[in-house]
Amino acid sequence: MLNLRRCVVGVVAVLLVGGMASAQTPTTAVAKKTDPTIYIGPQVRDGFIDTDSDIVDSIKDIKNVFRKRIKQVRIVDAPEEALLHLYVLGRGKSESGTTIFLDPVFLNIDELYVNTLLRVGDYEKEIIGVEDQWRDCAGQVVNKLKVWLSENDAKVQELWNNWLPA
C-alpha cells in the first residue's frame, strides 16, 4: 500500500510540475505574434499557380538570402499565414536596352533580373533585382525589401498587431 501511495504521489508531482512548465511556455499563438510573417512564393491567379523551374529556383534563392539578412520577419509556407506576401513573378535576361515590367528599370545587354511583387493588403510594390548572377539578383531583391521593411517598420508592426490570419 505504501508503494502504491508513493507511486500516486510521484505521478501527481510529475503532472503538476509538467503543468506548471507548460503554463510558462508561450503558446503557439503568442509565439506567432512576436514577428510579422511573410510568404515568399509564386503568385496564384484564378486557382492556377504561376510558376516554372526558373521561378522555383528564384524562390529558393530569395528565401536563402532572406533568412541570412532579415531577422525581424518570419517566413511561412502558407500565404494565409502571412501578413506580407512576396510573389516571384519571373526572371529573365535582358536584350539590348530593354525596359521590363512596370518599373522603369533600364537594363544593359545580357543582364539578369528577378521580378517580384510585394503585397500587404491592397498595397503593392514591385521589387526587381538586376545583377550578373541569379543569386545576386535574389540578394538585391532582399536588400530592397530590407530597406522597405526598415522604412515601414511602424506600419508593419501596427498591421501585425491588429492582423488575424485567414
Alpha-helical runs (H) found in the chain: 2-24, 28-32, 53-69, 134-151, 153-162
Per the CB < 8 A criterion, the answer to whether 82 and 37 are in contact is yes
Residues 43, 23: one domain? no
Q: What residues make up the domain containing 19?
A: 1-32
- Who's near 136: CB < 8 A, 6+ residues apart? 129
Residues 71, 122: one domain? yes
Tell me the one-letter amino acid at 129. G
49-86 residue pLDDT tens: 999 999 999 999 999 999 999 999 999 999 999 999 99
The tally of domains found in the chain comes to: 2
Residues 152, 104: one domain? yes
Residues 119, 134: one domain? yes
pLDDT computed for residue 77 by the predictor: 95
Distance CA(39)–CA(81), nearest Å, equals 8
Lowest mean pLDDT segment, chosen from 8-12, 121-125, 130-134: 8-12
CATH number at residue 47: 3.30.160
